[in-house]
Structure 1
Amino acid sequence: MKLILALCLAPAAALVAPVAPAAAQTKMSETKADLEALQNSMPGPPGYWDPLDLAGSTILAQYGVDTVEANIGWFRHAEIKHGRVAMAAFLGFIAGCTPLVSGEHAVAPYRGYVAGGTPFEQWDNMPLLAKAQIFIAVGMLESYGEGAGNPAGYVHYTKGGKPGYYPPIKGRVGGQIQFNLYDPFNWFPEQGAESKARGLKSEILNGRAAMIGIMGFCSEAKVPGSVPFLHGIEGFPHYDGNVMIPFSNDFSLFA
């Protein structure tokens, strides 16, 4: 299993150049007070809520994130990243359920693997190589997003960089990548500081809602009735497998 995983992730090295020596650290600008101000500036409940005082801790010190400000940067970046993944998962779940409601064939990229199955079954039925392609692509993008290859001007989010920032990827891999992940077709105009700040708040709120939403989908699919709002919706998928298997001793990445 370790050998398979290593072989699958090895091509990620092709995306980035050797890492140059780290630049001098810049001062982290976000403090706990800044975090409280950001949350309190957003509409709706619950306001600033941190019962474990994670924003005032150095709980990540054992991983080299040894200041309160660096911990805040890590948590801020993690929330934004998880929110983006959850938004994609939420929409992907709906797209994966479309064949169940419409009676049509499964949409790409699931076509050919399973038709009319639930999103969970679509993953279960994907062959090893298809899953490997997904993990390789994610690993490559994650490696670059963490600063591997020393992108010009990149500062890590635990060392003063902007949480949620992903460095431009256009022109990388020997010039083979011809677009950036954000706005690949240059549709969006350049925004001012005020518009960017408002957009970031919207992204955080939408990401939080999506995280709750995708967990609600998984819960209702596994335990019908556990989410009353979703219970009884025609065509909502039911899954007999174990949606929590990634957190169990039986987990196998390519099972």
Structure 2
Amino acid sequence: MRSFPWKVTPACPPRAPDAEVYKNLSNPRGIVYVFNYYFSDTRNARLGAAVDTYNLKELFLRMGYRVKVHEELSKEATEEKLCAIQTDSELERYDSFIMIFLSHGKDDTLFYTKDQEMMSLDDVRYFFVDGKCPSLKKKPKLFLASFCRGKVEETREYETDYSGSDETAEAPQDMVTIYASIKKFKAVRDPKLGTVFVQALCQVLADYAHELELQDLYRKLCSAMRDREGTTPEYQNYFFKKFFFNPLVIEGP
């Protein structure tokens, strides 16, 4: 039996929206999708990955969010799930949208699915631009990613998760992406405790999400990962205003 080692502090009162702050007051506050690829039947099994799923699910449930978990999907199944999410009328009821990917990676935005096929986080994000997903228009969309973005390794003790066009497209808006590591660097994982990124994220959100907005939380995340001998996370902003998680008063598992 696992136990969740952090205590979530609720926002009392929650931060109200204004011209510079997103509305995030729905109940549930938002919806969270966790895509986790274990590769459990291969020599590149991501030991500790199941702990990440547990910790993320517990964290966001205790913060008052709806959580849906998708594990060990092929590339085709992942794309089908993204299409289903994109057109899901249920998105209308939530003020915020969070999508998390945990896998082996190759470089920058590329990660592997269960069948060893590659997907780009850029492509994932374009599923949810305003023109393709009107239900999320003007709503905050957060993408969190823990996979290696290259072969360069920061000096740490943990395992790693390494494994030109003329087209036009709608530019993302109201989106933030936080990677576990910066471009060209590996991400790290403890075989027993899960990825350092998820450990640090859970700690920071449990302690500070009730009062700090996302960029301040990111700075706390950087410090928490450094304290845990983790990598340096990267924050990408696409015309994103201030965002407060506004945790609800939720007790127990």
| TM-score, normalised via structure 2 length | 0.23
Question: Which structure has the greater CA radius of gyration?
Answer: 1
| TM-score, normalised via structure 1 length | 0.23
